[in-house]
Amino acid sequence: MSSSDVDLRAEETEPTVHVVTGDPLLSRATELYRQGLAEAGVAGAEVATPPPLRPLGRTSFHVVVDGGGNAVGVIHATIGTLDQLTLGPIMDPDKRLSGIICECPSIAVVAGAPDGVAELLYRSVYCFARRNGATSLAAAVDPMTLDVFRDEY
């Protein structure tokens, strides 16, 4: 996993966004793949690379930190095709997205967080999506949040 090399306790007056990326299960999956090959007697098992089932670095957590170094909001984002994403099975079949999609299945903001935390999170995910070639964004939102998005954007 990787993250910005930033002291999260640094004195800041405005909230900042930090992005943590990577797939912590990927290295363990590689170990298990190699172990299975070795047990089967396959030559070169110790350096074998598993077939790609999903894009590398497809998962990210965007975290807003306040001036005191406290996490006040987080959103989870994943890049992939609809069949690789968790929201795929619940999407309306008539409105299925194609190509590379950035999904945001969950967001959390603490009560009393500074104004604009949710917007910072969504803006960070938008930039992440663009950098990773996504052509669509998919999010699970409650009806009230959807109304806010429609009114504001």
Q: What DSSP line would sit under 61-120, residue for residue?
A: EEEEE-TTS-EEEEEEEEEE-GGGSTTGGGS-GGG---SSEEEEEEEEE-TTPPTTHHHH
pTM reported for the whole predicted model:
0.67
Q: What is the dihedral of CA 141, 143, 148, 150, to 10 degrees?
A: 90
Q: Spell out, as residue ranges, where the chain has pLDDT lower than 70.
A: 1-12, 22-27, 52-57, 153
Per-residue model confidence (pLDDT) at position 1: 46
